[in-house]
Amino acid sequence: MALGSLGGCPGAFLTKILVKRYELITYGSNKDHNGIIKVSQSHQSVPSSTKLENSTGNIVERVLHTTSPPESILKSWKPSDTVKTPVFHAVWLFGASLLYGLILKSNYYKQFALLYINDDKFLTLVGTLIPIISTVSRIIFGVCLDKGLLSMKGTVVLSLSLQIILCAFWFFAPQVNAVIYLILILCLALTQCMVYSIIPTAAFHIFGPEHFFTNYGLFLSKNFLAGFLTPLVISPLLDILGWFWVFTSVSIASMLALVYVILTNCSIN
């Protein structure tokens, strides 16, 4: 008889029990005389929202709740939709331009410096310090992003701006003295390490967890393009225009990415 009153289905009866148990665990007995759950102040959520503009110009809103359960609600973007969003293009260009400078620094910092700094041991020391600075900086920027001290967009703008300035002075640094060159190279390492914090963070927090690995792979496609094109670009530039324009090309690429990030109507929060 009891089953009949619940629709004659044992599954419906079990569902009712589970729902009831969930309500008791989550909300206790906070119900009014009409049976409506009264949510206490501690269970209320204050939504914050970030907006992404998709390719059709519509605003897509992702609401993050500050309480649990559930702790947060993330919209998961399909890869086919991810690649159409301005925020994907902005983060991709950011990663590609930083990777261009990173490849140039890793492969040519010593070759260029030897023209002005005749100290192989010193330049080897520079190369040893690069991964140390990069690793420590990744941890620091990761903590800052986690604690909300830096926004993703602020970090992107900061890193691109620093790379523009540093590469503009790269040609002149070793001509001043070795210490200035050391500082410049280590500052570049600090700047370029941000790509390793921003890319996975953007892939998860902006485009959601469901298709994270595929979306992250789409961001990493910049590695293939930059790794393939950089040797093809640097050698002709070096032969025809010289070192100054090789370094300037990194500043130009970073400037284009920075302009896109700033002017494009997209939100990277």
The predicted-structure confidence for 5-47, as pLDDT tens digits, reads as follows: 444 444 444 445 444 554 554 445 454 545 544 444 444 444 4
Pinpoint the residues of the chain covered by CATH 1.20.1250.20: 82-263
Q: 91-104: b or e for each residue (b if 16 or more CB lie within 10 Å)?
A: bbbbbbbbbbbbbb
Counting other chains too, the contacts that 6-13 makes at CB distance below 8 Å and 24 or more residues apart are: none
Task: Give the integer Cα–Cα distance in Å for 105 and 120.
Answer: 16
Angle subtended by helix axes 120-146 and 86-113, to nearest 10: 160
Q: What does the pLDDT read at residue 2?
A: 44
Q: What does the pLDDT read at residue 267?
A: 56
pLDDT band for position 77 (50/70/90)? Answer: confident
Query: For 123-135, what is each residue's pLDDT tens digit?
Result: 999 999 999 999 9
Q: What does the pLDDT read at residue 268?
A: 57
- CATH of the domain spanning 82-263: 1.20.1250.20
